[in-house]
Amino acid sequence: MEKIIKKLFISGTLLVALAVSCTALTSSYAADENKPPKDTTFELTIPEVVTLSKVDGVNIEQASLGTINEDNIVAEVMTNSSYQIQLSAATPDLKLNGDITSSQFIPATANVQAGVNGWGVKNANNIYDAVTTTPKPFYNGVMTGSTPASVNLPVGIGVAPTLPNGTYSTVVTLTVATQP
């Protein structure tokens, strides 16, 4: 009985293997010339990615009264797309000692002048523009290479000789958005 089972098992395996082998050959290699080949579409979507890795703010230790005091907001941006840097501030005016209720301030303005209270950031056209409560574009860029792009946003501050001494400040929000 033991031998018969082995023989049936072996011959059953060969028969199944032969049937599978024959079926595969006839269905895989037979071509129906009346049916055109089928194409398939392959799609891979890469999402837009943007990273703002570093932002350095403005720090003017000693403001000069007769000139426009200048410094830069420096941002490092990494993206796989064109991008835009936008600036905004909940309180755009520079307030004495950061006190938003202070009546002493340097207003955000597009008309920055030496000897006149006012501050602004140069936009893509290299013209001073006021930071507002709504995000406003100041720079458009395109990534080239695989290292972060360092972007300088020039800030100018004019100070009138009658402005009381102290530290004037505000918090500016820098937003980076990808562009199509």
We report the CATH number of the domain holding residue 93 as 2.60.40.1090
pLDDT at 88: 96
Specify if 73 maps to a domain: yes
Specify if 63 maps to a domain: yes
pLDDT at 179: 81
Specify if 20 maps to a domain: no
Q: pLDDT tens digits for 72-116?
A: 999 999 988 899 999 999 999 999 987 878 888 999 999 999 999
Number of domains, the chain: 1
Q: At a CB cut-off of 8 Å and minimum separation 6, what does 32 contact? A: none
Whose CA is closest to 175, among 132, 112, 111, 113? 132
pLDDT at 58: 86
Task: Tell me the C-alpha distance between 170 and 165, whole Å.
Answer: 16
Laid out side by side, the sheet with 105-106 consists of 105-106, 94-96, 168-169
Specify if 17 maps to a domain: no
pLDDT at 146: 82
Single-letter amino acid, residue 8: L
Q: Which domain holds residue 150?
A: 50-179
Other CB atoms within 10 A of residue 151 CB: 20
pLDDT at 112: 97
Tell me if the pTM is above 0.75.
Answer: no
Query: What residues of the chain score a pLDDT lower than 70?
Result: 1-33
Task: Taking the CA atoms of 167, 170, 171 and 172 in sequence, report the sign of the dihedral they define.
Answer: negative
Specify if 39 maps to a domain: no
pLDDT at 99: 81
Specify if 102 maps to a domain: yes
Specify if 101 maps to a domain: yes
Task: Tell me the C-alpha distance between 95 and 81, whole Å.
Answer: 37
H/E run at residue 112: none
Specify if 43 maps to a domain: no
